[in-house]
Structure 1
Amino acid sequence: MSDLISAASDPAVPTESKSGGGFDTARVAQVKACLASQFDAAGKDVPEFEYTPRSIAHLHALATSSQAKTHAATIVSADLRQKAAEYRSQAVRIKEILENVGLAQESLSPGAIGSAQVLANVSNLLNVRDTEMSRDDGGVCSFLVAMGDISLRKTGVEEKRDKVRKESEVLLDYTRKALARLTYLKKTLQKLDDEVATCEAQMLHWKTNLAIMVSKERQYIQQHSNYKGLLNRVGYTPDISHGVLTEMSEHRKELEKKTKPILDTLRSYQDLPPDKALAALAIEDKRRQYAAAEKYLEEVLHSALTTTE
Structure 2
Amino acid sequence: MAFRPDNMNEAHQEIQVWLEQIFGGESIPQFELNQRTLGILHNLMKTNQTKDRDTQLIIKDHNQKAEEYTSDGKLVGNIVEGLSIKPSSLSQSGVTNLRTLANLALLLEIKDTSDTSFYLALQHLHSEETRIAEEREAEQNLISQLFEKTKSALIKYNSLQKALQTSEEQSKIQRPKIESHIKQTGFLKNKAEEYRKLIQKHQSQLVKLDVTPDIYHKTLVNKAEELQNLQQKLTPLRAKLQSYHDLPPDLVEARVKIEEMRRQVTLLEEDLSSKINMMHL
With the length of structure 1 as denominator, give the TM-score of the two structures.
0.35
- Structure with greater helix percent: 2
Which structure ranks higher in relative contact order (CA pairs < 8 Å, sequence separation ≥ 6)?
2
Compare CA radii of gyration and give the structure with the larger one.
Answer: 1
With the length of structure 2 as denominator, give the TM-score of the two structures.
0.38
